[in-house]
Amino acid sequence: MNQVDNLQAGDIVIFIDDVTGVPRDIMGFVVDDNFDPNDEQAVLIQFFGKDDGEPLHYYRRELDDYLESGEIRIQHA
């Protein structure tokens, strides 16, 4: 079991953004999960800041790929 499999509400997912050439971290909170047996496993992540809005949906396999490539860090609550 890896960090993505253990994600639950209250955990923090930090997206590492250096598109502009200046590294900055974008933090989001896991606010809900989707354990629907008829759908792929997913979580909702809420971001806060000037461009915040509704929580965004991420499949766990996507987050696992991001974690393996170093694009995110996970901090469990």
SS3 letters for the chain? CCCCCCCCCCCEEEEEECCCCCCEEEEEEEEEEECCCCCCCEEEEEECCCCCCCCEEEEHHHHHHHHHCCCEEEECC
**7 within some domain:** no
Q: What is the pLDDT of residue 50?
A: 67
Q: How many CB atoms lie within 10 A of CB 26?
A: 14
**22 within some domain:** yes
What is the count of structural domains for the chain?
1
Residues of the chain with pLDDT under 50: none
Q: What is the pLDDT of residue 74?
A: 94
> Model-level pTM?
0.83
* % of the chain beyond a pLDDT of 90: 48
Where in the sequence is the domain holding 40, given as residue range(s)?
A: 12-75
**56 within some domain:** yes
**4 within some domain:** no
* Contact of 46 with 35, CB cutoff 8 Å: no
**35 within some domain:** yes
